[in-house]
Amino acid sequence: MFFEGDVMRNDNGYERLWKLQAMIGKLVLDGKRDPNEVANTLQSIVDRASPSSHFTLMKTIDIVVPDDYVHATQLATFKRENLNGFYAYDPSIIDANFTNVTTSLVPGRKFRVQVFRPPTSGVTTSEEWLAFLKSQKAVLVGAQGLSLVYAAKREELPKHYVCVSLDEKGAFWKDASGHHRVPYLYGDLSGNFGLYLGIFDHGWTDKCCLLCFCDLPAEECELVHQSPEM
């Protein structure tokens, strides 16, 4: 049996953690602590342990959703206006396949898009990327957001990297094999781009980068111009 004072005086961090876990469990079982409050406290600890230190900021891009933007037909409009500029373009990237995007964009909305490189060892999962985006309070805009960055600021996208605008798994089109497919851009060293579909469950290497869309702070909005760099 141990007491709170014994835990507080223990200099061994791991032993103290184990004892605290046991004590918390007993307090909950005895009805002396509300399990929801304990769970919320633990969740706050997890949320503070953000994976942001594992991601490296590569570039920051400011964009504005154009005045003539129509969310329901954005991918069709984008393909019509930009197809000739791609050396490859997956034909499944159409509005009908990507209607479940988490955030439907509207004209005039201003974003600061931060381009992050993931950890340089191994493969990181889409779930890890989503956890990072949520820790940054990002707006999930999927394929439509990706198309806007290309149209407005493609010269600023990293070359020789896969660029991904991630969304929740269920927001992505499921192919005939049951895979949720994630649109991504790839720009070669000459500045030529292809638009492809990856697989949500396959994860991402350090030759990929993540586009993190956050609403532009109000005091900076007037500094962003709507004229795309073509």
pLDDT tier at 220, thresholds 50, 70, 90: low
Instruction: Assess contact for 162 and 195: CB atoms under 8 A.
Output: no
Between vectors from CA 150 to CA 160 and to CA 129, what angle results, nearest 5°? 65
The domain limits of the chain are: 4-48, 52-223
Pairwise CA distance, residues 191 & 206, whole Å: 20
| pTM of the predicted structure, to 2 decimals | 0.72
pLDDT tier at 34, thresholds 50, 70, 90: confident
Single-letter amino acid code for the residue at 16: R
Q: What is the pLDDT of residues 172-216, one digit of tens each?
A: 999 999 999 999 999 999 889 999 999 999 999 999 999 999 998
pLDDT tier at 81, thresholds 50, 70, 90: very high
Pairwise CA distance, residues 119 & 74, whole Å: 32
